[in-house]
Structure 1
């Protein structure tokens, strides 16, 4: 078998939506964008949605709109995709890396509180792998220290903390729709917020700094071309109509994996449940036992790939990336470094059936047993 790490779930209705846009005369800033924005914001349960070209663009615009810049610090995990830290640096601010909770792999609130200084302006709370972060504790810290909160929900559409979906807790939140995400627009992202002024400024910034009331070629503020095309939005509209089914399918894949891995020694599957939280399954990341190190993990990954099974290391810590060699790390990150050396993402997508999952697990088990560690 040849099994990819991820695969988008595109059906005929998605294709028809895209073709309908191509047959129209409106390819940007049109009705499909407005429909997609309303669909996502309504689903999340928040008033304003702003479609953008990527999750990275969304994070950048949130940082900019909140007035965070040179000399400011923003707390962020190192165990996440690099875009969260890059967006901080785009505006001249400094990412302050904080360690994670060993169970949820999200920011550890106790470590967050220890990292706050007079220069701290905000916290980027990442809902890692679709697992909601400990929002009550983090919001309490932010309120006491007068900090802004940006939710990086790029991996977590549909996840719930308590009775509310992620994206409803911070000053703003960002979702992303890359082809490996729960739903996809090919490329694209969405900012959601309750703040009308923030939404207005972000809408202008994503369109070269032009407010809705501005004349053509009139630009009131500094902006970027972070627009999302009507083609991408049309794909997103069709995907949103199926989101409940898609999320349910992914949860079933996760349950099938958990059952199949039950008797495999040396492997810790991700938790299916966490108290007070509902997971939106983005990836399926296992942890190898502590006696396995990075070298063994990478050997397993190579052997899986050699046998046609896609896999990947999730995540390589940001503070250990070459692009961050010159950025001092102010706080120790023992959990991040220990966990990241043993994590491995197995193939995971909506239509991954039981036969292929059993083949993946059988192959994985044979490889682990061959290492004789």
Structure 2
């Protein structure tokens, strides 16, 4: 299903039209830190008797209607790899208050110590997907100062919001009425209609030449090989395609200062002037 034009999150009305008798679960993400429309998604899941899976890998710390992300799905996923606020090189966390589901997830994570001396037949294969002890220790150390990390990232976000206003023709940052707080995963710039996918890529190349680690963000799932192989239709995902073709990710982490942010944005503006021409209106 397609996404909402402003938030980038899954659009409940478009999702409802795609539900079939074969649908087993709804998977929705808090895109770049912005919470999805969880009240509507929960209603939809309940009406159809479906599992609701919350992907909060990009939204640690964000809140929706007074509740923190990770608390809306039947299970929720947090990711601990870069460039998120809590990074321990590898690993993720699944949150759930469903006891049966938690038991199955623990089995997939690793085998019990009592099972390691013998071959045990079971209904599920053991994935051995548990995070390593050293990485877990690193994550726990960061967890104790997560509020400080989020506050520092919020300060960097404020620097970006201040200087990005002079960047003509980009989509302004958006926060939905039901959202209390958004913690960015990345600093995203959505370029105006004068830019194509190719010109966005040229801007990325110019930024790399200037020493700025920018990136195209990101390749939609329906354009990836797994979905090509299954011949998934893409013509009705025009909002997703439109956003993906003109999205530009700029460096974003807790150690950036105001001067560095100003340099990054000015360099991006200069690159856009070199590459683009014509109307700067974002539509």
Q: Same fold (TM over 0.5)?
A: yes
Q: Cα RMSD over matched residues? A: 1.6
Asked if structure 2 preserves the Cα contact closer than 8 Å seen for 1:106 and 1:127, the reply is yes
Measured in 2, the distance between the counterparts of 1:324 and 1:316 equals: 12
Shift of the 214–197 alpha-carbon distance from structure 1 to 2, 3 Å rule, reads: farther
User: Could you tell me whether the CA contact under 8 Å between 2:85 and 2:150 is conserved in 1?
Assistant: yes
* C-alpha distance in 1 between matches for 2:237 and 2:75: 27
Shift in Å, 1:370: 2.2
Q: 1:178 aligns with which of 68, 81, 91?
A: 81
Give the match for residue 129 of structure 2: 226
Match of 1:274 among 176, 184, 188: 176
CA deviation map 1:221-257 (0-9, x unaligned): 4211112111011101110011111111111111111
Moved more, 213-222 or 106-115: 213-222
Q: What are the equivalent positions in structure 2 for 1:233-248 lying under 5 Å apart?
A: 233-248=136-151
Between the aligned partners of 2:115 and 2:276, the Cα distance in structure 1 is 68
Residue 118 of structure 2 corresponds to: 217
Taking a change above 3 Å as real, the CA distance of residues 325 and 155 of structure 1, as seen in their structure-2 partners, is: same
Which of the pair has the greater relative contact order for Cα pairs under 8 Å at 6+ separation?
1
- Superposed structure 1 runs of 4+ greater than 6 Å apart: none
CA deviation vs aligned residue, 1:261-318 (integer Å, no higher than 9, x gap): 11221222433x3322121221111100122111111111100001100111111111
Q: 2:255 aligns to what SS in structure 1?
A: coil
Residues 1:134 and 2:40 aligned together: no
Identify the residue that residue 163 of structure 1 maps to in structure 2: 66
Q: Mind listing any 5+ residue stretches in structure 2 that lack a counterpart? A: 278-283
Q: 1:255 aligns with which of 145, 158, 165?
A: 158
- Secondary structure of 1:267's counterpart equals coil
Q: Does 1:287 align with 2:171?
A: no
- Could you tell me which residue of structure 2 aligns to residue 197 of structure 1? 100
Distance 1:215 1:264, change over 3 A: closer
Query: Distance in 2 between the 1:204 and 1:218 partners?
Result: 15
| Aligned equivalents of 1:168, 1:202: Cα separation in 2 | 17
- Tell me if 1:300 matches 2:203: yes
1:217 positional shift: 3.0
For each residue in 1:2-27, what CA deviation from the matched residue of structure 2 results, as whole angstroms up to 9, or x when unmatched? Answer: xxxxxxxxxxxxxxxxxxxxxxxxxx
More displaced 10-residue stretch of structure 1: 135-144 or 321-330: 321-330
SS of the aligned residue for 1:285 comes to strand
8 Å contact 1:258–1:269 — kept in the other structure?
no
Deviations 1:174-204 (A, max 9, x none): 1011121111111110111001121112111
Alignment partner, residue 325 of structure 1: 228
Distance (Å, rounded) in 1 between the aligned partners of 2:139 and 2:96:
19
Gaps spanning 5+ residues in structure 1: where? 1-97
Q: In 2, Cα distance between the equivalents of 1:112 and 1:330? A: 15
Shift of 1:113: 0.3
